[in-house]
A and B are shown apart, each in its own frame.
Chain A
Amino acid sequence: MSDRAVEFTASLLEGEGVTLDSPKGKWLRQRQLEARVALKEQALPTSEEEEWRFTDLTSLYKNTLSSPDDRAAVDASVVKTFLIPEASSAIVLVDGVYSAELSRTNAVKTKIRVTDLKSALGDERLRERLERQLNNVGGDGVSAFCEMNTALFKDIVVVHADNRGVDMETIHILNISTGKHTFNHPRLMLLAEKQARICILEDYLGLGGFGYMTNAVSELSISAGAEVIHVKLQRDDDSAFHIAHTHVGVDNGAVYRNWSVSVGGAVSRHNLVTRQREEGGYIEIKGLALGHDKRIVDTHSCIEHTKPHGQSNQVHKTIAGGRSKIVFNGKVKVHQDAQQTNSSQQNRNLLLSARASVDAKPELEIFADDVKCAHGATVGQVNDDELFYLKTRGLDDGVARNLLNYAFAKEVIDDLPIKSLAGVIESYIKQQTRV
């Protein structure tokens, strides 16, 4: 444990968590206190720890970050340009705090509720679900950053879907950071009831913010037969630190489809932990990470099959240009009970420049014998023959390379259900893979 990490941890803990005085929030304050205690035992990680071997956070720990108290005014018309037309509701958070004037929620025409923590605690059924699921959705161990979020979040965006038999609806949750050297700890809880169908877009971007840290935790509890599409788009400012944990629990026969796209930040880390909690269930994860300039993009995913007949499918593609560093650690764990699991994982990395690097580690941990599990990982460069072909058609070297890079990345978002977003991501790809 380095002194710097310890000091940084202590400085963040000077901040406060939830300020609620209703007795219904007592358990929550208790959890926040427990997380605080845990952080005193174990500070934020350094690259000496196996889990953080390739991602050095020294550049984060040498900062002094503060709580974003003075909020800059955010221009509603600018925010509007980022909102997607497909969404029935858009929740906008500015530096981690819900903004009523920027958000728009459709009238309660369906059975999907999006609320803040206060009103969630007011609903007894929701409160009880929240208490049971918070920090308990699934996956191995809780990391120090996750504890940090638990100790310091000020609000929770609670999405409760109980809309069986109705068309899928899209909810856009937009996290805007405006602070300079500030931190915020956004928290999201999605509770999908039996056979509910919902699509959520978790979107992070910087608007005037600089050198800030976002430490997000999202938990998705998916009940039997439900279908959840979850798109996470990280387009934070190039100077920002983005740490995110996504914990997903999948019940009997439920479907979870995830798209995780990282196109921003100076240092970003996404821990995506999905756990099949009951029999059956389908987990699909598609990831895209673009390394640009000196960016570090780190993705750690874990798919855990604990019960029989589960299926999972993962594709993670990355492009490393400039002096960037791409890290991928993809674990698939099959427990002894999880017979008849069918799992496949693919990791493809494209290196564009001599100074970029890729560290990949696909892991399989199998304890059941009647399973089919396979993974593949490749690191390579643009194919010379393909390049030559395009050049014979009159494209110059730069355009041809850009086109090939774009084609490589595009596969991940080809079947993205939010069509307007696919266009947005495509423009990031074109822009960031230009040679």
Chain B
Amino acid sequence: MSTAIDNIVNQPYKAGFHTDIETDSVGRGLNEDVIRTISSKKNEPEWLLEFRLKAYRHWLTMTEPKWPNVTYPKIDFQDIIYYSAPKPKATKKSMDEVDPELLETFEKLGIPMNERAALAGVAVDVVFDSVSVTTTFKEKLAEEGIIFCSFSEAVKDHPELIKKYLGSVVPYTDNFYSALNSAVFTDGSFCFIPKGVKCPMDLSTYFRINTQDSGQFERTLIVAEEGSQVCYLEGCTAPQFDTNQLHAAVVELVALDDADIKYSTVQNWYAGDENGVGGIFNFVTKRGLCKGKNSKISWTQVETGSAVTWKYPSCVLLGDNSIGEFYSVALTNNMQQADTGTKMFHIGKNTRSRIISKGISAGKSNNSYRGLVKVSPKADGARNYSQCDSMLIGDLCGANTFPYIEVGNKSATVEHEASTSKIGEEQLFYFLSRGIDSEEAVSMIINGFVRDVFMHLPMEFAVEATKLLGLKLEGSVG
């Protein structure tokens, strides 16, 4: 049994390769000039530069958060390259014009980019080190009036929408890393679903950190108008490096009356080697605003990578009868540390939220669930159900649960449950007695443990996520 588990734990990082590609970077460090340079390189309007500078000035007054249950070497924010973009070429009309080396990278990752993309029914907005290279399916989406493009394009083509919604859910004053992101974000995705439109396909973005030492500051904004529906997928892998890389993304979702946003993430960034050398620092601010009545935002995440994760996808349930959901699987091994969870703010009447979190810790890793359920005094009839289960593999890892429950309304009903367990000898014995070997049994037990979350992933991602866990389990499964 122990060898089976060791095999699971000791899977090397599968996506570790580095593409040599010329990049256009600004120097290391951060000051107002760097921000002006980023802004001018991207031909941004004056108001956006102002937004960046305000955020930067506010960031200077802030200090790094110390409360998460993670430890990492102090980050030197002056030693980071804040802008790097693939060398600009003429605008591309077809896939043939894209740098072949770039295409090869996508090939290795198995991204359905050309015809495969059409077959898979996925529109991929590929972000390669901060700048969008190509966007597929744009025309098909445009027929429905859906805007799905890179953030820079959106700034050029739809400034009124960006101006209206940028920072409306995560203001630049929100926290240290969101302020930093607001000051230096280079690119990201923008998605707008007009009134009454049900997005005909799942939208997907692949992020990939490539240039050594370049911090990645993505900005994603999704706006779903009245009665619209969208399902958004985000997946990440990164090449293997020894220097810690900082990733401080901001994701903002806005759902108006009766709108429904489903946001799914599979995160498999480089986690460092078994001694904790290298790996990505993943400090992400994700928040959804259920602005309208009967709106719904659902977060599903599968976190398997990064050396340090600090991430709390949240829902602000402002509209009456709005619904927030959070489904999470967080797997840590070796020296990985994760402090992740969600925040549900019940503000409107009859708002409902549901939290299902599954943590798996192995090796010497430390996995914490930190969640907040807050019911404000006016949120009559608010309802929350939370369930946080942890599984420990080996006795050198840690699993922690920090749920905060703050209720200020007497008609609210809040329930929280948590448990911690391991793969029981009896469970294994049961499998063995039915002729299933221990490695397969372990894999089946873990897949069963995370099933409640995986069933909420969209089809394409469920396959990928199961594959990802399978990847980690490879060697033990045979």
A residues lining the B interface (CB < 8 Å): 50, 54, 336, 339, 349, 351-381
Contact = CB atoms under 8 A, between A and B. Distances in A.
A329 B127 CA distance: 43
Contact of B418 (A54, A356, A362, A368): A362
B412 A363 contact: no
B405 A369 contact: no
A50 B393 CA distance: 30
Given A362-B401, A364-B399, A369-B395, A376 B415 contact: yes
A370 to B, nearest CB: 6
Among B396, B398, B410, B416, max chain A CB count under 10 A is at B410
29 contacts: A50-B67, A351-B407, A354-B377, A355-B377, A357-B406, A357-B407, A357-B408, A358-B405, A358-B406, A359-B405, A361-B403, A362-B418, A364-B400, A364-B401, A365-B401, A366-B392, A368-B392, A369-B393, A369-B394, A369-B397, A371-B392, A376-B415, A377-B403, A377-B405, A379-B412, A379-B414, A380-B412, A380-B413, A380-B414
B403 A362 contact: yes
B379 to A, nearest CB: 11
A381 B381 CA distance: 11
Interface residues of B, number: 35
A50 B419 CA distance: 24
B152 interface: no
B402 interface: yes
Contact of B409 (A354, A361, A366, A370): A354
Contacts of B417: 374-376
A372 B421 CA distance: 6
B43 interface: no
A265 to B, nearest CB: 21
A364 B405 CA distance: 14
A363 B398 CA distance: 13
Contact of B410 (A351, A362, A370): A351
Contacts of A366: 390, 392, 398-400, 420
A177 to B, nearest CB: 32
Contacts of B418: 362, 364, 374-376
B429 interface: no
Contacts of A351: 407, 409-410, 412
B401 A379 contact: no
Given A365-B398, A379-B412, 15 more contacts: A352-B410, A354-B377, A355-B377, A357-B406, A357-B407, A357-B408, A360-B406, A366-B390, A366-B398, A366-B420, A367-B395, A368-B395, A370-B422, A376-B415, A377-B416
Contacts of A367: 395, 397-398
Interface in B416-461: 416-422
Q: Chain A interface secondary structure, helix, strand, loop or mixed?
A: strand
Contacts of A381: 410-413
Nearest to B415: A378
A349 B375 CA distance: 14
Nearest to A380: B413
Nearest to A368: B395
A362 to B, nearest CB: 6
- Ordered nearest first, which 8 A-B pairs have the shortest CB separation? A369-B392, A351-B410, A364-B401, A379-B414, A360-B405, A357-B408, A377-B416, A374-B419
B77 interface: no
B416 A376 contact: yes
Contacts of B412: 351, 379-381
Nearest to B411: A381
A332 to B, nearest CB: 9
B404 interface: yes
Interface in B301-356: none
Contact of A379 (B392, B394, B405, B419): B405
Contacts of A362: 401, 403, 416, 418
B48 to A, nearest CB: 35
A369 B413 contact: no
Contacts of A358: 405-407
A380 B393 CA distance: 35
Nearest to A373: B420
Contact of B395 (A339, A354, A380): A339
A283 to B, nearest CB: 17
A379 B375 CA distance: 10
Nearest to A374: B419
Given A50-B67, A361-B405, A366-B400, A371 B413 contact: no
Contacts of A363: 400-403
A378 B400 contact: no
A357 B394 CA distance: 40
A381 B407 CA distance: 11
Contacts of B402: 361, 363
A320 B422 CA distance: 37
Contacts of A373: 419-420
A159 B398 CA distance: 38
Contacts of B421: 371-372
B410 A377 contact: no
Contacts of B397: 367, 369
Nearest to A341: B420
A370 B411 CA distance: 39
B362 to A, nearest CB: 9
Contacts of A356: 410
Nearest to B413: A380
Contacts of B415: 376-378
Contact of B413 (A339, A355, A375, A379): A379
A368 B402 CA distance: 17
B403 A336 contact: no
A377 B386 CA distance: 9
Interface centre among B393, B397, B414 (most CB of A within 10 A): B414
B402 to A, nearest CB: 5
Interface string B208-221: 00000000000000
B421 to A, nearest CB: 7
Contacts of A357: 377, 406-408
B123 to A, nearest CB: 42
Contacts of A353: 410
Contacts of B405: 358-361, 377, 379
Nearest to B369: A364
Contacts of A377: 403, 405, 414-416
Contacts of A379: 375, 405, 407, 412-414
A323 to B, nearest CB: 11
A369 B1 CA distance: 14
A360 B67 CA distance: 18
A362 B67 CA distance: 17
B2 to A, nearest CB: 11
Nearest to B398: A367
A185 B419 CA distance: 39
A365 B400 contact: yes
A203 B400 CA distance: 35
Contacts of B408: 357
A144 to B, nearest CB: 19
B397 to A, nearest CB: 7
A336 B396 contact: yes
A354 B410 CA distance: 5
A352 B421 CA distance: 36
Nearest to A359: B406
Contacts of A355: 377
A374 B419 CA distance: 4
Contacts of B407: 349, 351, 357-360, 379
